Amino acid sequence: MRNSSLQLLKENGGGSSVVCLLYLCMISILCALLYTKMQAVKEIEIANSTMWKGHFLWLEAIYYARNEINDETLWDWHESGEDYQIDVEFDRMKKQVIITAWYRGIRKVKKYFYDFDCHCIFETEQ
Amino acid sequence: MLNQRGSLTIEAFVALFVYMIITSLLLAMLKSLHRWRSTDWYYFDIACMQLQELIAICEITEISSNELALLCNREEFEIREHNNRLVKSPGYQIMLTDVQDIEFSLDDETIWMRGQFQNEKFELAIAKREWWR
């Protein structure tokens, strides 16, 4: 490869061959940049997808808590799988529910207060 | 000999032309990847999650094309677009900025919010029917 390039340079003045080689180098650099960027985008997308899945798990837990408050049954809910865990724990005495959702390392815990008069949950105590 | 030299020059120009096309294509791909998901879209995602959580906690009392009425802990709120912002009122809590043509609708047991964010169309399922009683 090196010999043939040198031969081209010697036989044909070499100006255009050098430019071609420079272009080849530039394209290689661009390809490397593109690959790096694509890897970064892929990682961000995986993180984003994990965040959304964890969020939907959280919404499911809120929906369960609201439903239980509406029915006034207040059954706790504990469910876990390989990569997720949901805990909804009611405290009738304190009138509060603690919701915990965990998905692939992302954990969210929040305490809500509930009111049987309006069958609603809220974040701050009245 | 002249013919050989001439053909080599033409070949070099063709090669340069092909390289130029490849370079411009690669640059365009890099640019599109860079713009593909700007940071603003991640803020948009987070804002959407906050909106979904708010709606999950509250009770939806009315859906109209440009407004969503909520009952949160005995207090009534409205979510609507105002000056390119999605706001919660009374008060003026900004949920999203740089939005236009926001519309709410109920299709297939799901409440959808459609509109434009930074002049790009979006469609978001903000609540399932079972969340509002």
Mark out chain B residues that contact chain A at CB-CB < 8 A: 5, 8-9, 12-13, 15-16, 19-20, 22-23, 26-27, 29-30, 33-34, 36-37, 42, 45, 49, 52-53, 56-59, 71-74, 128, 130-131, 133
Written as six digits, the tokens of B21 are: 């096309």
Percent of chain A at pLDDT > 70 equals 84
Element (H, E) at B10: helix B2-36
Q: What pLDDT, in 10s, does the model give residues B108-127?
A: 888 999 999 988 899 998 88
Going by the DSSP 8-state scheme, the letter that residue A104 receives in this structure is T
* Beta carbons within 10 angstroms of residue B19's beta carbon: 17
Q: Is B101 left (phi over 0), alpha (psi -120 to 50) or beta?
A: left
The average pLDDT across B78-96 equals: 92
| The one-letter amino acid at B111 | I
Q: What pLDDT, in 10s, does the model give residues B44-63?
A: 899 999 999 999 888 888 89
**Beta carbons within 8 Å of B59's beta carbon, 6+ residues apart:** A120, B70, B71, B72, B132, B133
3-class DSSP assignment, residue B71:
strand
pLDDT at B6 over 90: no
Tokens 């994990």 appear where? A50
Rounded to a whole number, what is the distance in Å from the CA of A101 to chain B's nearest CA? 13
* Cβ-based contacts of A19 with chain B (< 8 Å): 12, 16
* Cβ-based contacts of A70 with chain B (< 8 Å): 133
Selected residue with higher pLDDT from A78 and B72: A78
pLDDT at B103: 94
Sign of CA dihedral A121, A74, A61, A102: positive
* Cβ-based contacts of B57 with chain A (< 8 Å): 62, 66, 112, 120-123
Closest CA to B74 of A36, A121, A56: A121
Min mean pLDDT across A13-22, A87-96, B16-25 is at A13-22
Say whether residue A46 is in contact with chain B using an 8 A CB cutoff: no
Nearest to B56 among A17, A33, A63 (CB): A63
Closest CA to B114 of B99, B124, B128: B124
Q: Do B57 and A33 touch (CB under 8 A)?
A: no
